[in-house]
């Protein structure tokens, strides 16, 4: 025997369990539903009971109706996939497309995968410790000038920064993994600077780290040469030039030969012992290299994009163009 | 750091490389090179001219017809409006065909009826950073017809070395002589010594140097006299100035003209000759010198100490500087006379009438100089060098070099005094040649490594039969402190090009980040079904995390959601497209960082509901496509927003009925694989029935569908809309229903009962 109380409890339970909105409707409000059944029993009651009972029942009915109206919209959205097999979804003929950046990063992932590199990622919101200190760039060091930093303040006053390069991932990965290590770390980086055709405040880098007992400058040349040959699908020439980064020793600039010109394309070097130690690797037999390059810069060369600002312009006339481009 | 090629040639006379070849070699073996250029390239067809005749233009009050001799027997007629021209002046004449640095192409012209065949140029027109009015007047001894660049002594190649980011190697690469030494090393050439004079240790200067801080380990002062009344036209130029504009009176203390043309050419501003000489030695040796007017320094004391907080100092530009505790200062008996290693005081600066100078050469703690200079934003040439650490040995070398040049200029050294330790501490370290070979990956012989180290002037000691060596670097290489730093020296001298590429690496198991892989799959699948990925800026006008130095002041926060950006992308592009299918994957920032996906379907011919349904549909299909259980998705109304749940976890929301946004890091961690077991193929046939229902045309197919599904039993496995037909205010919907019982063949009557139930319902409600 059902009562207002028992129906109310069951209804509450059904809501809690997110019972399908249509089921709730038919269960309670249909012609044979609980509410209708409860209304039927009203005719056997005494008049004073009747009015109180009626009020309570009407209140419950209203509650249920309100709930159903409120939830109809979300239900409509949800139902479409199951109930509409005749009006099949119109998949437009227009091809979608990845951004040139994603396209390139995925391609880079695949090439490095052939050499046994995994993908690691790290936070964009970083601490000074990981972005600078542990990478052997102490406070006040002139090398910090190279990275114009965007600083961030949280409501509780804690100061952090948006990483200026993907190199902090090196440390974070070393802290949690033992060598041999072979990773690339793609992601966004941020610089506080004026934008122009070749400078952006947000852009992407791919970091690489390779550590084992054998990895030498010669290995680095092997890996990076393989990568650029695969990426450009031609027998591309590369060269190393001496450079300086606090987190590598020795440090190199990498040039590639394109259209009879040398183009500076990446920075690299043998990972500085201090950085290995900061990452928890104290074994002197472990050595290796790290490298990093700007994805936008590569994309601009490969896709012949003349203004870096187009990448973030969200102009679909630009974004949708690359749909059919294959590397 | 800009270095004239001729200076390099002076120090390395046997050099066979052209400036361009040399720059290439430097970039491959030593440091980065910004550029190689010749200032004369911008001054082609500009020559020294001699004004022969000036007559007024018949049709213009402000113009003159000027006849200028530009070659032995060639006189050009030029219309000129400058007020400062006079008969007999030597001037810079741009001939027809000249393209000036400001882009002006000189052509024959007719000005108010008079022909003109060239232009008499001002300093600005020639690309010099000058405030001087009128045309540039050249010294009287300039030779007519000489190209202007030659007359100014600036026709020469400059190699611009990038040493902005360099570490300790910066001090070594921040001087002409340091770079010349490096070039001698990489070209295997002989390096000429710097011409130095003896320190006048027996001419004791009566100054009492007191070093009261350990942030200065060596300090010396030289007194020079013989400068005479000399006037400087301060009304003229700033950086990039050419000396010819500057000196009103040049008959007294003549510096070698090469010094001035060198300062000109490397864009160093000229001041008084004594100051210029000090600057020249800074560039030549890498050691900054400071020049005081000797008569303005009070008393016998020279005190080097750390400042007290709040002390005040007026620098030579007249700027008041409030010092912090620990800034290193130089004081005479009364005042602070210099902020050590950074800038001198106004009260003791060389000026008009200075005849006697004190030349300070000293070494200060690089870290403290860096802190002070950066705090005060006073990155002078001196501070830039000190902050990168300078070997103390350069202090005496710079003084000796200055004495040498002073003697040639006819000035007198009056006295000298020094205090402190002039030797730097270079520790011996042990090199393991096997380690070096393993690091480089090439079997370089012991003998070759020995030769490289010898060429680097590194002292070596090797116990017999050992691969290990004790080495000490020369004083100018403060950066060689670890084996790896020696690896760099050996590898670059061996030649990076000579190191073979080695791809002999082990097989390695790949364990890529799962969220990243999921992000990739989603992105690729979305692109496949027609969605275009967009990238938008992370800045917003509201949020939790605030940028201390925002790039856009109106958006100082990091965004918490992608929806806002997506909506503006749609607004921006909706004029160009009828249908937009867009997504973005990006981090957003609440108190922490989250990886979000935003998804939007916009068809201008559909209403919001239809659009969002489409996007939601695509999302579910995508999840199904990736092999996960899409039925775990549900949407719920919560207050005014629609939230999205997967397997009872809130993972996203729907904004403005336009954008679906979800946290894909969370989603990827809770996704439930779709069932991969087979449901048995039904043994018994299904029964299909079409049913046409006539209803009021305000009732949607969806409502009818919902009603039907509430009426039928579990045997009904499929309900689909087959047709609709509108008839005035009524509408006919034809639905196909499919019934099946897993246990038996259905009887017609059983199906009929179900159908009748539906028909009855709709008859009742009509």
DSSP string for residues in B449-487: HHHHHHHTT-EEE--TT-SEEEEE--TT-TT--SHHHHH
Q: What is the mean pLDDT of residues B57-71?
A: 90
Q: What is the mean pLDDT of residues B317-346?
A: 95
**Residue A249 at interface with chain B, using a CB cutoff of 8 Å:** yes
Q: How far does A49 lie from chain B, in Å, by closest CA?
A: 32
- Sort out which chain A residues have CB atoms less than 8 A from B501's CB and list them: 218, 221-222, 225-226
> What confidence score (pLDDT) does residue A327 get?
38
Q: Can you tell me the distance from the alpha carbon of B122 to that of B120, in angstroms, rounded to the nearest whole number?
A: 7
Residue B18 has pLDDT above 70, yes or no: yes
Q: Tell me the CATH number of domain B41-151, given options 3.30.1650.10, 3.40.50.300, 2.40.50.140, 3.50.50.60.
A: 2.40.50.140
Q: Indicate the helix (H) or strand (E) that contains B720.
A: strand B716-727
Closest residue in chain B to residue A154, using alpha carbons only: B545
Q: Are strands B659-663 and B593-603 parallel, antiparallel or unpaired?
A: antiparallel
B236 pLDDT band, cuts 50/70/90, is very low
| Residue B140 in tokens | 């009287």
Residue B691 has pLDDT above 60, yes or no: yes
Q: Do domains B41-151 and B208-420 have the same CATH topology?
A: no
Residue A319 has pLDDT above 80, yes or no: no
pTM of the model: 0.79
Closest residue in chain B to residue A271, using alpha carbons only: B484
> What confidence score (pLDDT) does residue A51 get?
82
Residue B401 has pLDDT above 80, yes or no: yes
- Sort out which chain B residues have CB atoms less than 8 A from A242's CB and list them: 28-32, 488, 492, 496
Closest residue in chain A to residue B489, using alpha carbons only: A250
- Sort out which chain A residues have CB atoms less than 8 A from B484's CB and list them: 249-250, 270, 272-273
Q: Can you tell me the distance from the alpha carbon of A286 to that of A283, in angstroms, rounded to the nearest whole number?
A: 6
Domain B2-38+157-187 CATH assignment equals 3.30.56.10: yes
> What confidence score (pLDDT) does residue A90 get?
39
Subunit contact A317:B492, Cβ cutoff 8 A: no
Three-state DSSP class for residue A58? helix
pLDDT by residue (tens digit) across B436-479?
999 999 999 999 999 999 999 999 987 777 778 899 999 999 88
Q: How far does B369 lie from chain A, in Å, by closest CA?
A: 11
Q: Which CATH number describes the domain made up of B687-765?
A: 3.30.70.380
Q: How far does B574 lie from chain A, in Å, by closest CA?
A: 10
Q: Can you tell me the distance from the alpha carbon of B766 to that of B761, in angstroms, rounded to the nearest whole number?
A: 9
Closest residue in chain B to residue A143, using alpha carbons only: B165
Q: Where are the domains of chain B?
A: 2-38+157-187, 41-151, 208-420, 429-498, 514-670, 687-765
Subunit contact A216:B502, Cβ cutoff 8 A: yes
- Sort out which chain A residues have CB atoms less than 8 A from B668's CB and list them: none
Residue B244 has pLDDT above 50, yes or no: no
Question: Which stretch of B249-263, B426-440, B513-527 has the lowest confidence by average pLDDT?
Answer: B249-263
**Cβ neighbours of residue B202 closer than 8 Å, sequence gap 6 or more:** none
Residue B166 has pLDDT above 90, yes or no: no
Q: How far does B276 lie from chain A, in Å, by closest CA?
A: 27
Cα separations (Å) of B522 from A203, B515, B624? 21, 10, 11
Contact B26, B32 (CB under 8 A): no
Q: Can you tell me the distance from the alpha carbon of B246 to that of B233, in angstroms, rounded to the nearest whole number?
A: 6
Q: What percent of chain A has pLDDT over 70?
A: 89
- Sort out which chain A residues have CB atoms less than 8 A from B485's CB and list them: 249-250
Domain B208-420 CATH assignment equals 3.50.40.10: yes
With CA atoms as reference, report the closest residue to B323 among B337, B305, B311.
B311
Q: Where are the domains of chain A?
A: 4-83, 100-324
> What confidence score (pLDDT) does residue A84 get?
39
> What confidence score (pLDDT) does residue B278 get?
92
Q: Can you tell me the distance from the alpha carbon of B554 to that of B561, in angstroms, rounded to the nearest whole number?
A: 17
With CA atoms as reference, report the closest residue to B42 among B169, B158, B144.
B158
Q: Can you tell me the distance from the alpha carbon of B519 to that of B502, in angstroms, rounded to the nearest whole number?
A: 33
Three-state DSSP class for residue A295? helix
Q: What is the mean pLDDT of residues B292-305?
A: 95
The domain made up of B514-670 has a fold known as BirA Bifunctional Protein; domain 2 (3.30.930)
> What confidence score (pLDDT) does residue B581 get?
92
Cα separations (Å) of B458 from B431, B433, B695? 12, 15, 99
Subunit contact A83:B702, Cβ cutoff 8 A: yes
> What confidence score (pLDDT) does residue B701 get?
78
> What confidence score (pLDDT) does residue B228 get?
64
Q: What percent of chain B has pLDDT over 90?
A: 55
- Sort out which chain A residues have CB atoms less than 8 A from B488's CB and list them: 242, 249-251
State the complex-level ipTM.
Answer: 0.80
Q: Tell me the CATH number of domain B429-498, given options 3.40.50.261, 3.30.56.10, 3.40.50.1100, 3.40.50.2300.
A: 3.30.56.10
Question: Which stretch of B226-230, B280-284, B392-396, B506-510 has the lowest confidence by average pLDDT?
Answer: B226-230
Closest residue in chain B to residue A192, using alpha carbons only: B551
pLDDT by residue (tens digit) across B515-548?
999 999 999 999 988 899 999 999 999 999 999 9
With CA atoms as reference, report the closest residue to A275 among A155, A173, A189.
A173
pLDDT by residue (tens digit) across B67-112?
999 988 899 999 998 888 888 888 999 999 999 888 889 999 888 8
Subunit contact B569:A30, Cβ cutoff 8 A: no
> What confidence score (pLDDT) does residue B766 get?
56
Residue B637 has pLDDT above 80, yes or no: no
A75 pLDDT band, cuts 50/70/90, is low
**Cβ neighbours of residue A177 closer than 8 Å, sequence gap 6 or more:** none
**A100-324 belongs to which homologous superfamily?**
Bira Bifunctional Protein; Domain 2 (3.30.930.10)
Selecting from A143, A221, A223 the residue whose C-beta is nearest the C-beta of B165 gives: A143
- Sort out which chain B residues have CB atoms less than 8 A from A76's CB and list them: 609, 613, 702
B165 pLDDT band, cuts 50/70/90, is low
Contact A199, A308 (CB under 8 A): yes
- Sort out which chain B residues have CB atoms less than 8 A from A287's CB and list them: 438-439
Residue B668 has pLDDT above 80, yes or no: yes
Mean pLDDT of chain A: 86
Subunit contact A154:B544, Cβ cutoff 8 A: yes
Mean pLDDT of chain B: 88
Residue A301 has pLDDT above 50, yes or no: yes
Subunit contact B503:A222, Cβ cutoff 8 A: yes
């Amino acid at each position: 025997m059902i009562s207002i109380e028992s129906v109310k409890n069951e209804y509450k339970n059904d809501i809690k369990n997110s019972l399908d909105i249509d089921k709730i409707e038919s269960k309670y409000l249909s012609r044979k539903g609980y509410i209708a059944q409860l209304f039927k029993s009203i005719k056997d009651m005494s008049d004073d009971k009747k009015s109180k009972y009626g009020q309570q029942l009407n209140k419950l009915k209203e509650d249920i109706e309100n709930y159903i109206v409120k939830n109809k919209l979300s239900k409509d959205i949800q139902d479409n996939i199951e109930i509409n097999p005749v009006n099949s979804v119109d998949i437009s003929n227009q091809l979608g497309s990845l951004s040139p950046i994603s396209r390139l990063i995925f391609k880079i992932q695949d090439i490095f995968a052939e050499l046994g590199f995994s993908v690691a990622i790290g936070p964009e919101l970083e601490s000074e410790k990981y972005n600078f200190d542990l990478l052997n760039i102490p406070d006040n060091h002139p090398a910090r000038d190279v990275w114009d930093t965007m600083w961030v303040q949280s409501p509780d006053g804690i100061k952090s920064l948006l990483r200026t390069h993907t190199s902090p991932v090196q440390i974070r990965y070393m802290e949690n993994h033992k060598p041999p290590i072979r990773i690339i770390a793609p992601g966004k980086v941020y610089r506080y600077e004026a934008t122009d055709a070749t400078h952006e405040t947000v852009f992407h880098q791919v970091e690489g780290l390779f550590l084992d007992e054998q990895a030498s400058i010669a290995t680095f040349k092997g890996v990076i040469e393989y990568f650029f040959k695969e990426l450009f699908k031609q027998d591309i020439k590369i060269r190393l030039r001496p450079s300086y980064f606090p987190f590598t020793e020795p440090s190199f600039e990498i040039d590639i030969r394109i259209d009879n010109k040398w183009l500076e394309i990446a920075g690299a070097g043998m990972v500085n012992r201090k950085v290995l130690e900061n990452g928890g690797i104290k074994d002197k037999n472990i050595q290796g290299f790290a490298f990093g390059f700007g994805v936008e810069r590569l994309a601009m060369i490969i896709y012949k994009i003349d203004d870096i600002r187009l990448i973030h312009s969200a102009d679909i006339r630009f974004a949708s163009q690359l749909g059919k481009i294959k590397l | 750091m800009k270095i004239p090629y001729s200076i390099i040639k002076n120090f390395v006379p046997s050099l066979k490389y052209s400036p361009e070849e040399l720059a290439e070699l430097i970039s491959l073996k030593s440091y980065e090179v910004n550029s190689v250029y010749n200032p004369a390239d911008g001054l082609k067809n500009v020559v020294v001219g001699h004004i022969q005749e000036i007559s007024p233009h018949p049709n213009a009050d402000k113009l003159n017809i000027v006849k200028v001799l530009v070659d032995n027997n060639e006189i050009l007629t030029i219309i000129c409006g400058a007020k400062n021209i006079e008969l007999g002046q030597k001037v810079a004449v741009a001939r027809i065909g000249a393209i000036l640095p400001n882009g002006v192409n000189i052509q024959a012209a007719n000005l108010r009826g008079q022909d003109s065949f060239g232009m008499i140029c001002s300093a600005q027109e020639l690309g010099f950073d000058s405030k001087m009015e009128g045309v540039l007047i050249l010294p009287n001894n300039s030779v007519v017809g000489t190209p202007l660049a030659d007359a100014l002594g600036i026709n020469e190649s400059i190699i611009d070395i990038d040493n902005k980011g360099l570490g300790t190697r910066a001090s070594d690469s921040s001087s002409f002589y340091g770079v010349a030494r490096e070039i001698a090393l990489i070209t295997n050439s002989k390096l000429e010594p710097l011409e130095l004079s003896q320190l006048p240790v027996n001419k004791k200067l009566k100054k009492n140097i007191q070093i009261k801080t350990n942030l200065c380990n060596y300090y010396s002062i030289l007194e020079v006299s013989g400068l005479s009344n000399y006037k400087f036209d301060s009304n003229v130029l700033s950086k990039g100035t050419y000396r010819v504009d500057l000196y009103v009176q040049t008959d007294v203390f003549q510096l070698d003209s090469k010094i001035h043309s060198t300062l000109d050419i490397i864009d160093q501003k000229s001041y008084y000759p004594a100051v210029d000489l000090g600057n020249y030695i800074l560039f030549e040796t890498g050691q900054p010198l400071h020049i005081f007017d000797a008569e303005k320094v009070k008393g016998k004391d020279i005190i080097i100490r750390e400042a007290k907080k709040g002390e005040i100092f007026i620098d030579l530009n007249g700027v008041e500087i409030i010092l912090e505790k620990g800034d290193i200062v130089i004081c005479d008996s009364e005042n602070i006379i210099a902020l050590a290693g950074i800038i001198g005081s106004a009260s003791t600066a060389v000026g008009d009438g200075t005849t006697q100078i004190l030349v300070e050469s000293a070494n200060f703690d690089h870290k403290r100089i860096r802190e002070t200079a950066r705090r005060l934003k006073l990155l002078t040439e001196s501070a830039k060098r000190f902050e990168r650490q300078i070997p103390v040995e350069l202090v005496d070398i710079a003084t000796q070099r200055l004495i040498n040049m002073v003697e040639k200029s006819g000035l007198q050294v009056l006295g000298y005094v020094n205090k402190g330790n002039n030797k730097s501490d270079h520790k011996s370290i042990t090199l393991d040649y096997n380690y070096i070979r393993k690091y480089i990956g090439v079997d370089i012989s012991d003998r070759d490594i020995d030769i490289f180290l010898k060429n680097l002037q590194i002292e070596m000691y090797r116990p017999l039969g050992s691969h290990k060596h004790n080495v000490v670097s020369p004083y100018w290489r403060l950066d060689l402190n670890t084996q790896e730093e020696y690896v760099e020296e050996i590898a670059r001298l061996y030649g990076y090009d000579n190191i073979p590429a080695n791809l002999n690496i082990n097989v390695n198991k790949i364990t890529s980040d799962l969220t990243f892989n999921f992000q990739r799959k989603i992105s690729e699948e979305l692109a496949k079904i027609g969605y275009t990925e967009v990238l938008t800026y992370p800045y917003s006008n509201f949020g939790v995390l605030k940028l201390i130095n925002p790039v856009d002041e109106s958006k100082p926060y990091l965004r918490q959601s992608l929806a806002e950006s997506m909506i503006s992308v749609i607004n921006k592009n909706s004029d160009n497209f009828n249908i937009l299918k867009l997504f973005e994957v990006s981090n957003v920032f609440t108190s922490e960082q989250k990886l979000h996906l935003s998804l939007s379907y916009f068809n201008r011919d559909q209403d919001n509901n239809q659009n969002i349904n489409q996007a939601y549909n695509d999302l579910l299909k995508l999840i199904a496509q990736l092999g996960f259980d899409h039925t775990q998705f549900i949407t719920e109304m919560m207050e005014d927003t629609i939230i999205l749940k997967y397997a009872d976890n809130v993972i996203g929301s729907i904004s403005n009925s336009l954008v679906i946004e979800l946290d894909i890091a969370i989603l990827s961690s809770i996704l439930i694989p779709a069932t991969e077991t087979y449901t048995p193929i039904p043994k018994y046939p299904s029964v299909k029935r079409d049913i046409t229902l006539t209803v009021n045309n305000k009732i949607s197919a969806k409502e009818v569908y919902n009603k039907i599904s509430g009426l039928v039993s579990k045997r009904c496995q499929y309900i689909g809309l087959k047709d609709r037909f509108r008839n005035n205010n009524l509408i006919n919907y034809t639905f196909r229903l499919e019934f099946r019982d897993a246990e038996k063949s259905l009887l017609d009557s059983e199906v009929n009962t179900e159908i009748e139930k539906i028909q009855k319902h709709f008859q009742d409600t009509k």
